Amino acid sequence: MNLQSVLVYLTLLVALVYLVNKFLLPKKYRIGRKGTSSGCGQDDCGCS
Amino acid sequence: MSKSINVALIGNPNTGKTSVFNQLTGLKQKVGNYPGITVEKKEGICKLPRGVKAHILDLPGTYSLNTTSLDESVVVELLLNRNDKDFPDVVVVISDVENLKRNLLLFTQIKDLRIPAILVINMADRMRRKGITLDLALLEKKLDTRIALVSTRKNTGIEKIKELIADYKNLSNKPNVDTTVIDPEYFEKLKKTFPNEDLYKLWLVITQDVNFMPIEKKTIPDTASFSTKSKSELKRLQQKETILRYQFINGILKEAYKVDLQAARGFRATLDKILTHKVFGYLIFFFILLTIFQAIYDWSSYPMDFIDEQFAAASEWVKDTLPPGVFTNLIAEGILAGIGGIVIFIPQIAFLFLFIALLEESGYMSRVVFLMDRVMRPFGLSGKSVVPLISGTACAIPAVMATRNIENWKERLITILVTPFTTCSARLPVYLIIIALVIPEGRFFGLSYQALTLMLLYIIGFMAALFSAMILHRVLEIRSRTFFVIEMPNYKLPLLKNVAYTVIEKTKSFVYGAGKIILAISIVLWFLGSNGYSDRFAQAENLVKQRISENGFTTYNREDIAEKFESYRTELQTGPALSEAQLNDSLTLKMESLEFRAQRQEIASFKLENSYIGNIGKAIEPLVKPLGYDWKIGIAVLTSFAAREVFVGTLATIYSVGNDEEETIKNRMAAEVRDESDKPLFNLASGISLLLFYAFAMQCMSTLAVVKRETNSWKWPLAQLAIMSTFAYLIALIAYQILK
């Protein structure tokens, strides 16, 4: 497997992890910001 | 180290609260949602005198602390919870000088919670015109607070607010009104049962949901000495409290607030008569809607085309510059296309919210709601649902975001759920190509059949939205009050700063909120369309080359090459004279280039057919066959989940047409025959079936992402996807089975 293929799979993995994290995982298992620390709610709601 | 304090901006709707917030915080603000609900949360930072830093929270507009909606309950929840990290050190109550009496009801309630409160009287610039005079010193004394007279329009009084906030420790926290007099016995028992609690706070906890759906809260348990009253009794007491407060307010305003009525009449009354007129009102609104529609549909096409071109150029640049390979393809065709698919919506969103902000800011929106409410009410919608529904004909994404103006949650949810039925511009490429293929070119009373079909599809979409709204209104068990009380704010020139903030904020929230989901799905779709597990996929290039060398190109490509070659030959022969050798060289080069292009197209088509998504398309063929489609259309239907217009592009790839020119694709589609017979694949039955499928199906991941964002739950977009897709499938099935 060449470097380009590795990069493709990595990108796909990131996208899949993001979607699973967002769509399928219950809130308490979600990776990343929990909203309360930034005070912007628990979904990605434009708080940057 | 500078000290930071929490400041909450609270006030009635239309008091200019957001303008005060904008002037206090400038661009140091961020917008989000309150945890678990989709009530917008705006917060910002403001530097105050003496090195104090304020964290400013702009709370939703509320008329009182007797909640009637989710927005209002956010305010009460915060003021009742001293442990909340946002609990204010000081509350700034924004009021409007023309409606001071009504605004003071909320102020006195906050004051009675013993939270330090400052009163801001906004729109001071109107006082002279409206004949209003105020005795500020007397008001401050009677209300036991400090007051800032402000005009956000003239930018006056903001420094005074900052000073008063910085000085908040000197504010009195004594209550204004003794609420216990409304039922001394009841409050006495309450005091005995909870001796350490503030009585007014307890009262608000008890009455928090008497006008509203039951909310999650710790209930006050009944004991031997105390039992809570029934809802109707509590409501009666709440009314007594309101009367008591107005008696207190009237007493103060009688002395401190004077209005010269003669000066107050005029322009507003005349304008109201016209804008809410039974005939002219609707005509004016129709004209304004037409302008909005024109802006979203037409004006935004220029920046959209520009964005499209830039992303296409960027994609080409990546392909030409980076080393060839799959990751380069992913960047060019997956990531850039995904980002382009997000950015391209920015002009439409910006235009829609520019107009909505202008209508809101000017005070016209309230007249529209009043005007349209009686039309929309039978369908379970609000007057404000009109704007999203009409905007949905351009694009459902900004339209769904525009439902934020609808205060009633049930009406807002219904509007969000039904808006994608309206015919958006992304459906147009699909409609136009299918209509051109299957609807004859005749005329009916001077109107072309094709135009009539297109119009019918728009009507079907709108009727589906209204009809499903009516059903949802009956089916959804969401309790929310639907009484119609609307305030008619004064007309004013929109503050450009506020309009700009709204446009920037909405655009940002789309790009960061829905954008990430769209990009992630685009990457997955690209992968599924560009990779496959079978040997046929891996050997695509060799297999196609071998097939071409043995059997030649497909009939379509053969004819296409011949036609283009002939036309090039004619061009050369009629152009400047060439020697025979030059002519032959040119023709050979042209033939090679045409054959190379056709070969690339056939390889792309073969790869897509054998990719993961191609396999899925073939796997679902038994499901789509009863609708009159083959696996190729099945693939196009699947990929167009990214966006409906992708349908045409996918068919172009599958049929190895190689470019997106509508006429070329149309000819190729017309030539397509069914595998089992020589009958055309696209006939009236399958065409109508496809048109109806696209009219009703939820084929837009961006809209789903936005619905998720706006409802803060996957339950609604998934239900929307399931119901709309099932309905679309059944209608398409019935249509095909009847017409075939």
**DSSP of B550-578, one letter per residue?**
HH-S-HHHHHHHHHHHHHHHHHHHHSS--
Identify which has the larger pLDDT, A9 or B52: A9
Residue B607 confidence (pLDDT) above 70: yes
Identify which has the larger pLDDT, B222 or B201: B201
If you search the block for the tokens 């309950």, which residue do you land on? B73
pLDDT recorded at residue A41: 32
Alpha-carbon distance B327 to nearest alpha carbon in chain A (angstroms): 5
Q: With an 8 Å Cβ cutoff, are A40 and B523 in contact?
A: no
Task: Identify whether residues B17 and B158 lie together within a single domain.
Answer: yes
B296 and B398 in contact (C-beta within 8 Å)? yes
Interface pTM, i.e. ipTM: 0.78
Q: With an 8 Å Cβ cutoff, are A15 and B505 in contact?
A: no
Binding-face residues of A in 22-41 toward B, CB within 8 A: 22-23, 35-36, 38-41
Residue B427 confidence (pLDDT) above 80: yes
Task: Identify whether residues B11 and B40 lie together within a single domain.
Answer: yes
Task: Identify whether residues B37 and B114 lie together within a single domain.
Answer: yes
Q: Does A21 touch chain B (CB under 8 A)?
A: no
For residue B15, the SS3 value is coil
- For residue B693, being part of any structural domain is answered with no
pLDDT recorded at residue B225: 57
Residue B494 confidence (pLDDT) above 80: yes
Average pLDDT, chain B: 82
Would you state the structure tokens that stand for residue B620, as one six-digit string?
A: 């679902």
pLDDT recorded at residue B185: 86
pLDDT recorded at residue B424: 82
Task: Identify whether residues B57 and B184 lie together within a single domain.
Answer: no
For residue B531, the SS3 value is coil
pLDDT recorded at residue B128: 81
Q: With an 8 Å Cβ cutoff, are A42 and B327 in contact?
A: no
Q: With an 8 Å Cβ cutoff, are B505 and A22 in contact?
A: no
What are the two backbone dihedrals, phi and then psi, of residue B656, each rounded to the nearest 5 degrees? 45, 45
pLDDT recorded at residue B274: 87
Residue of A4, A21, A45, A48 to mutate, testing the B interface (most B Cβ within 10 Å of its Cβ)? A45
Lowest mean pLDDT among A34-43, B266-275, B577-586: A34-43
Identify which has the larger pLDDT, B469 or B351: B469
Identify which has the larger pLDDT, B292 or A8: A8
Give the list of residues 6+ apart from residue B9 with CB closer than 8 angstroms, or none.
Answer: B17, B20, B21, B24, B56, B57, B58, B59, B92, B94
Give CA separation, B72 vs B21, B39, B479, in Å.
18, 10, 15
Highest mean pLDDT among B444-448, B479-483, B647-651, B714-718: B714-718
- For residue B206, being part of any structural domain is answered with yes
Task: Identify whether residues B184 and B163 lie together within a single domain.
Answer: no
What are the two backbone dihedrals, phi and then psi, of residue B92, each rounded to the nearest 5 degrees? -105, 110
Distance CA B711, CA A45 (A): 11
Contacts of A38 in chain B (CB under 8 A): 32
Write the pLDDT tens digit of every residue in B280-302.
888 998 888 778 767 776 787 78
Contacts of B520 in chain A (CB under 8 A): 15-16, 18-19
Lowest mean pLDDT among B164-168, B207-211, B269-273, B358-362: B207-211
Domain termination residue (choose one: B263, B281, B314) = B263
Average pLDDT over every residue of B437-449? 82
- Cβ-nearest to B32 among A8, A23, A40: A40
- Per the structure, the count of domains in chain B is 2
pLDDT recorded at residue B220: 57
pTM of the complete model? 0.62
CA nearest A4 in B: which residue? B327
Write the pLDDT tens digit of every residue in B238-279.
888 888 898 899 888 888 888 776 655 567 778 888 888 888
pLDDT band at B226 (very low <50, low <70, confident <90, very high): low
pLDDT recorded at residue B414: 92
Lowest mean pLDDT among B27-36, B452-461, B704-713: B27-36
Distance CA A27, CA B384 (A): 33
Average pLDDT over every residue of B444-456? 82
Contacts of A35 in chain B (CB under 8 A): 32, 35
Strand duo B90-96 + B117-122: pairing: parallel
Identify which has the larger pLDDT, A26 or B66: B66
- For residue B360, being part of any structural domain is answered with no
Residue of A2, A12, A20, A27 to mutate, testing the B interface (most B Cβ within 10 Å of its Cβ)? A12
Average pLDDT over every residue of B319-333? 89
- For residue B733, being part of any structural domain is answered with no
pLDDT band at B218 (very low <50, low <70, confident <90, very high): low
- For residue B235, being part of any structural domain is answered with yes
Q: With an 8 Å Cβ cutoff, are A11 and B330 in contact?
A: yes
Contacts of A15 in chain B (CB under 8 A): 519-521, 523-524
Residue B464 confidence (pLDDT) above 90: yes
Write the pLDDT tens digit of every residue in B155-176.
899 999 999 998 888 888 888 8
pLDDT band at B513 (very low <50, low <70, confident <90, very high): low
Q: With an 8 Å Cβ cutoff, are A44 and B328 in contact?
A: no
Residue of A8, A34, A40 to mutate, testing the B interface (most B Cβ within 10 Å of its Cβ)? A8
Lowest mean pLDDT among B107-116, B140-149, B283-292, B318-327: B283-292
Q: Which domain holds residue B131?
A: 4-170
Residue of B87, B523, B612, B713 to mutate, testing the A interface (most A Cβ within 10 Å of its Cβ)? B523
pLDDT band at B223 (very low <50, low <70, confident <90, very high): low
- For residue B269, being part of any structural domain is answered with no
DSSP state of B125: G
Lowest mean pLDDT among B558-567, B640-649, B676-685: B640-649
pLDDT recorded at residue B69: 67
Q: Is B178 left (phi over 0), alpha (psi -120 to 50) or beta?
A: beta
pLDDT band at B729 (very low <50, low <70, confident <90, very high): very high
Would you state the structure tokens that stand for residue B87, as one six-digit string?
A: 């609990």
pLDDT recorded at residue A7: 93
Residue B212 confidence (pLDDT) above 60: no
- Nearest to residue B544, comparing CAs of B496, B493, B485, B605? B605
pLDDT recorded at residue B614: 85
Domain termination residue (choose one: B124, B141, B170) = B170
For residue B420, the SS3 value is helix
pLDDT band at B657 (very low <50, low <70, confident <90, very high): low
Average pLDDT over every residue of B665-672? 75
Residue B180 confidence (pLDDT) above 70: yes
pLDDT recorded at residue B691: 95
Amino acid at B321: T
Alpha-carbon distance A4 to nearest alpha carbon in chain B (angstroms): 5
pLDDT recorded at residue B221: 59
Q: With an 8 Å Cβ cutoff, are B335 and A41 in contact?
A: no
Task: Identify whether residues B46 and B156 lie together within a single domain.
Answer: yes
pLDDT recorded at residue B289: 75
Average pLDDT over every residue of B378-395? 81
pLDDT recorded at residue B728: 95
Task: Identify whether residues B128 and B96 lie together within a single domain.
Answer: yes
Give the list of residues 6+ apart from residue B368 with CB closer than 8 angstroms, or none.
Answer: B285, B359, B383, B384, B386, B387
- For residue B64, being part of any structural domain is answered with yes
What are the two backbone dihedrals, phi and then psi, of residue B395, each rounded to the nearest 5 degrees? -160, 135
Task: Identify whether residues B98 and B193 lie together within a single domain.
Answer: no
pLDDT recorded at residue B372: 82
The alpha carbon of B540 is separated from its chain's Cα centroid by a whole number of angstroms, namely 43
Domain with residue B155: its CATH number is 3.40.50.300
Q: With an 8 Å Cβ cutoff, are A41 and B508 in contact?
A: no
Interface residues from chain B to A (CB-CB < 8 Å): 30-36, 41, 43, 85-86, 323, 325-328, 330, 335, 505, 508-509, 512-513, 516-517, 519-521, 523-524, 527, 708-709, 712, 714
Domain termination residue (choose one: B245, B263, B281) = B263
pLDDT recorded at residue B705: 84
Average pLDDT over every residue of B700-724? 87
Q: Partners of B156 in the beta sheet?
A: B151
Q: With an 8 Å Cβ cutoff, are B31 and A45 in contact?
A: yes
Q: Partners of B43 in the beta sheet?
A: B30, B57
Task: For chains A and B, count residue pairs whose Cβ atoms are closer than 8 Å.
Answer: 90
pLDDT band at B495 (very low <50, low <70, confident <90, very high): confident
Task: Identify whether residues B164 and B199 lie together within a single domain.
Answer: no
Contacts of A42 in chain B (CB under 8 A): 35-36
Residue B42 confidence (pLDDT) above 90: no
- Cβ-nearest to B86 among A2, A8, A39: A39
Average pLDDT over every residue of B546-553? 88
Contacts of A37 in chain B (CB under 8 A): none
Contacts of A43 in chain B (CB under 8 A): 33, 513, 708-709, 712
Average pLDDT over every residue of B223-230? 62
Would you state the structure tokens that stand for residue B505, as one six-digit string?
A: 């904020």
- For residue B430, being part of any structural domain is answered with no
What are the two backbone dihedrals, phi and then psi, of residue B28, each rounded to the nearest 5 degrees? -85, 60
pLDDT recorded at residue B664: 66
Q: With an 8 Å Cβ cutoff, are A12 and B325 in contact?
A: no
Task: Identify whether residues B41 and B137 lie together within a single domain.
Answer: yes
Q: Does A3 touch chain B (CB under 8 A)?
A: yes
pLDDT band at B404 (very low <50, low <70, confident <90, very high): confident
**Which strands, in side-by-side order, build the sheet including B90-96?**
B29-33, B40-47, B53-58, B4-11, B90-96, B117-122, B146-149
Task: Identify whether residues B109 and B240 lie together within a single domain.
Answer: no
- Cβ-nearest to B330 among A8, A19, A47: A8
pLDDT band at B141 (very low <50, low <70, confident <90, very high): very high
Contacts of B521 in chain A (CB under 8 A): 15, 19
Distance CA B84, CA B551 (A): 75
> Virtual CA dihedral for B202, B205, B211, B217, nearest 10 degrees?
-160
Share of chain B above pLDDT 90, in %: 19
Q: With an 8 Å Cβ cutoff, are B35 and A36 in contact?
A: yes
Task: Identify whether residues B107 and B188 lie together within a single domain.
Answer: no
pLDDT band at A38 (very low <50, low <70, confident <90, very high): very low
Alpha-carbon distance A47 to nearest alpha carbon in chain B (angstroms): 6
pLDDT recorded at residue B468: 93
Lowest mean pLDDT among B217-221, B228-232, B395-399, B585-589: B217-221
